[in-house]
Amino acid sequence: MKVFSNLAVSIDGKIATVDRSYFPLGTPEDRRQMQVLRREADAIVNGASTLRTFKKPMSVKGAKKQPINAVVSSTLEGFSPAWPFFKDASVPRVLFVSPRASAKRLKLFEKSSEIEVLKPRAPTALQVIRALEKRGVRSLLVEGGGGIMWDFVSEDLIDEYHVTVTPRLVGGKDAPTLVDGLGLKPRDVVNVRLVQSRVVGDELYLIYAKTGKRG
């Protein structure tokens, strides 16, 4: 499976403000590029925090067949079946949860979404990849946020990184970044190589590829 990511960041590396409310960092060109990349994906995966922020499906405008929308959430806490994400009948949905998700929470979403319980305590990125491969997925787009990016980056599972650097400064020590999580030790730092860069207005569009090297 090809795994690629696409996120916009401020020049200080943030993907959202500290309160994580919806705030489009990028320009319309960035959102156009997002649609281009979504068309290349059989499935798109988001973390729980990102879904709580946007509440909408990760869809492709004008497409007859929509990519699978996958969300990783250990417990489904803070989710509502009334969100637009769960109402769009054209978008297939898969929720990856842990055994800690209560039967009550699962029942709320079992009609609108396919639910798969992944063990152990929290679903891992590799488990998500394997589960989607069984569903015929050959290309997976990771759209954030920083938590789910950490899950994939820490295991060096992303083949291609698309990063839009926007002309904004966000600040905030607790504001989410491109990759959050526990952080890597020097010997484990993931190395990538720049394969493309272009400037559109005040934005910088970068593509980095996996090298398989660390440290």
For the chain, the domain total comes to 1
Q: Which domain holds residue 111?
A: 2-214
Segment holding 57, helix H or strand E:
none
Q: What are phi and psi of 88, to 5 degrees?
A: -80, 110
Per-residue pLDDT band for 169 (boundaries 50, 70, 90) equals very high
User: pLDDT per residue over 122-141, tens digit each?
Assistant: 789 999 999 999 999 999 99
Task: Give the angle subtended at the CA of 27 by the CAs of 68 and 164, to the nearest 5°.
Answer: 70
Per-residue pLDDT band for 120 (boundaries 50, 70, 90) equals confident
CATH number at residue 20: 3.40.430.10
Considering the entire predicted model, what is its pTM?
Answer: 0.96
Residue bearing tokens 């607790």: 174
Residues 6+ apart with CB under 8 A from 110: none
